[in-house]
Structure formats: structure tokens, C-alpha cells
Amino acid sequence: MIKVYIPNMSKQKVGGGFTWLRNFKIAMQRYDVHFVDNWKDCDVLLIAGVTITDPHEVREAKMNGKAIVHRVDNVPKKSRNRRSTPHERMKELSDLSDIIIYQSNWARTYCKPLCGDGTVIYNGVDKDIFYPPKEEDKLKNHERYLFAYHGKSELKGFWTAHHIFQQMHREDDGQCDFNFIYDFGRDLEELKNSNFDFWNGETYSHLPKVEDPNDMADIMRNCTALIFPSIADASPNTVLEARACGLRVIGSASEELSGTKELLDPDLDISLERMGEEYWGILLLSCQKI
């Protein structure tokens, strides 16, 4: 048995990190892994995110012979973590770690100056939840485009997706519509009053935030394509979920700007089983290193 401690695991509720954590715990059910709630009882301390990890705990665990594995997806913005020092913390935690895991080759290239070398393990998707619609339920002769992001980061590119849909609306002779999930903040009421700046008869729907992954899967199965222009995204779960639901993914950023296109490789196994097998190998290796 390998006992794993993930700091602040119970405090993560939303976002890509929470999705990864939920999937990781499911994937590890096939292996002899037990999750503990403190570093003293663990064999491996797994850093799931630098902003939720207390460096003091990691230092103590390292001094007491625990294996440290650091999962890296991106570099936190200091401008959004003004009360902490995320860049310095990221480097220190990486220096303390026995193994660095990057979420994509893009993440490894981007984060390497702070974190050093490491191995890439792509995220997986729960195919018990995210799967294609039945043939009889598929949309026929109609395109339904989706943009989904539950925050309001400008890096996700809502207005780029908005523009792409406008162009697709013309190409499809109007036989399409646009569903989007996005937090517009204080601009929402103004955008509603201005029809979200659509002006050419486009059909659209602003959907509320979705908490349950089953509900998100239902939305995806009722769409035909995901528009995903996000930049600085290491291994977006939304793209994997869309692929698992049979959606085309369009409008994605180049390999220099994001890890999205790596996830679109048709030869990439996007299952939780593959992700779990690779993480199990890392856990075994980390225990051998101490």
C-alpha cells in the first residue's frame, strides 16, 4: 500500500484542479493507494497546486524522509495572489520534490525555468460520465457550438469564440446556435440588454454555471462542437470531456500558446485508466527514490 497525502484536498471544490483531483481519486481505486489527511502518515506528499500548499508542511515532510511529488500545470499569476509569493514558492516546492509531473509538453516548456525537468502525464476523463450521445439523439443538419468556462479569465478567449461563432453562423447559413457558459461579472446585465453584441440574427443561449459533471456532460452531448481559443492552458479538462462526448474542437490556440492541441492527438488515450496507470508508476518510483 502507498499512503498519499494531498494538502488541502478537501478544500478544493471548483475548477480544473478539482476536476483533476476527482479523476485522480477515481483512477487510483484500481491500485493499492490510501489517502491520508496529514503528512506524518503518508509515504508520498503530492502537491496538487502551489497556492493551496503550505511550504512548511512540505519542508517537514522532506526532512522526515517522505517522498515529494509536484504536479505542475501552470505558473500562478502573482497579480492574482498578491498576499503570497507564488513564483518563489513554486521554485522552492519544486526544489524539494523528488519528481515533477507536467500536464503537457507546453507546461513543461513554460514552467521549466521555475520547476526544472520532469515527466509529462496528460489528464484523463471519466468516460462513465462523459460519453457520446446515442445515434438517434445526435443533432441532424444543425450545428450547436459550445463555449464553456466558469470563471472570467480573459485568457479563455470568450470574445474570440464569439467572433468564431459569428463566422460559422454565416458558413452554416444560420443553421446553428451558440451555447456559452461564462462569468461576465458586472457586465452581464448590460450584455443581456445588448443581445451580447450579436447583430446578424444569431441564435444563442447564456447558460448558468454548471456544478455537476453529469449536467455538463448532458450539455456537451447536445452540442456538436466546442470552440476553445484559450491560451496558457496546460491540459484543459473541458477539451478532454468534449472529445469524450464526441464533439469537434475548433478554434484552439497554437502549440506555442497552449497545451490544447496536444490533447487533440487522435492517438492520445484520454481515459482515466491510462492516467491512473502512469500516476501509479510515478508513486512507485517516488517511493524508491527516498
147, 226 Cβ separation under 8 angstroms? yes
**Residue 82 domain-assigned?**
yes
- 45 with 143, same domain? no
- 258 with 152, same domain? yes
- 168 with 216, same domain? yes
Please report, for the domain that includes residue 171, its CATH number. Answer: 3.40.50.2000
**Residue 129 domain-assigned?**
no
Cα first-last separation, the chain: 16
DSSP string, 129-170: TS-PPPGGGS--S-EEEEEE-SS--GGG-HHHHHHHHHHHHH
C-alpha cell of 112? 521549466
Range of the domain at 117: 2-124+271-289
- 116 with 139, same domain? no
- 67 with 94, same domain? yes
State residue 14's pLDDT score: 45
**Residue 259 domain-assigned?**
yes
Task: Please identify every stretch of the chain with a pLDDT value under 50, giving residue numbers as ranges.
Answer: 12, 14
| Pairing outcome for strands 119-120 and 99-102 | parallel
State residue 12's pLDDT score: 45
pTM of the predicted model as reported, rounded to 2 decimal places: 0.93
- 97 with 77, same domain? yes
- 190 with 209, same domain? yes
- 284 with 199, same domain? no
The count of structural domains within the chain is 2
CA-based nearest residue to 77, from 109, 50, 48: 50
- 113 with 196, same domain? no
State residue 83's pLDDT score: 62
**Residue 130 domain-assigned?**
no
Residue 203's H or E segment, with its range, is strand 203-206
Phi, psi of 207 (to 5 degrees): -90, 150
What are 175-186's pLDDT values in tens digits?
999 999 999 999
**Residue 109 domain-assigned?**
yes
